[in-house]
């Protein structure tokens, strides 16, 4: 079996580090732990700009924070991560609390130096709208509520 030569190790390390930096990470803090919901699917989790745009009464399920390297992740990547986490919790909507990134120059320099200054961050509240379960069933098929 061919062993890896020492001059190839830095290349392998850089490839692994680049792959790890590409994905958006999400953290979840339950805001209503007594609410037990069946998982839904990301297709059934619309994104609302604020609470005034939510069409139904709702319960807050969790606060979800997503972040990723802004060189590799856009707001769409963060929203995808947030929607996936919300679906796992059984939420059928998210309300955006904050989305943003650091200044462009800081992003490039920070990414080049491997610093956390190049972060894109998003925060949303996962919600459950009891009156919206028919739409969720249609969006997810037999896999949901």
pLDDT of residue 24: 67
DSSP 86: H
Residue 10 lies in a domain: no
3-class secondary structure, 8: helix
> Does residue 13 lie in a domain region?
no
Structural domain including 97 reads: 24-143
Q: Identify which of 98, 6, 89 has the alpha carbon closest to the alpha carbon of residue 41.
A: 89
Task: Tell me if 80 is assigned to some domain.
Answer: yes
pTM: 0.70
When divided into structural domains, the chain yields a total of 1
41 Cβ contact partners less than 8 Å away, ≥ 6 residues apart: 87, 139, 140, 143, 144
**43 within 8 A of 140, measured Cβ to Cβ:** yes
In DSSP terms, 96 is beta-bridged to: 124
Tell me if 105 is assigned to some domain.
Answer: yes
Q: Which residues pair with 126 in a beta bridge?
A: 62, 94
Domain-embedded: residue 11: no
Task: Report helix, strand or coil for 91.
Answer: coil
Q: How do the pLDDT tens digits run along the chain, 145 residues long?
A: 455 555 554 554 444 444 444 556 778 888 888 899 999 999 999 999 999 999 999 999 999 998 876 655 667 788 899 999 999 999 999 999 877 665 555 555 555 555 555 577 889 999 999 999 999 999 998 654 4
In a domain, 115, yes or no: yes
Instruction: Give the pairing type, strands 47-48 and 59-69.
Output: unpaired
- What's the pLDDT tens digit per position in 20-43? 445 567 788 888 888 999 999 999
Per DSSP, what are the bridge partners of residue 60? 127
CB 132 within 8 A of CB 144: no
Asked whether residue 123 is assigned to any structural domain, the reply reads: yes
Query: Is 17 within the bounds of a domain?
Result: no
The whole-angstrom separation of Cα 47 and Cα 126 is 9
């Amino acid at each position: 079996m061919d062993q890896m030569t020492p001059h190839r190790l830095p290349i392998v390390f850089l490839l692994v580090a680049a792959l790890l930096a590409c994905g958006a990470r999400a953290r979840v803090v339950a805001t209503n732990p007594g609410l037990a919901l069946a998982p839904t699917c990301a297709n059934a989790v619309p994104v609302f700009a604020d609470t005034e745009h939510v069409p139904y009464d709702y319960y807050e399920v969790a606060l979800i924070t997503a972040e990723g390297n802004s060189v590799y992740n856009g707001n769409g990547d963060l929203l995808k991560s947030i929607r996936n986490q919300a679906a796992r919790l059984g939420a059928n909507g998210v309300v955006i609390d904050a989305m943003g990134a650091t200044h462009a120059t800081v992003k490039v320099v920070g990414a080049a130096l491997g610093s956390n200054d190049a972060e894109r961050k998003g925060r949303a509240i996962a919600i459950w709208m009891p009156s919206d379960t028919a739409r969720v069933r249609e969006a997810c098929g037999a896999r949901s509520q």
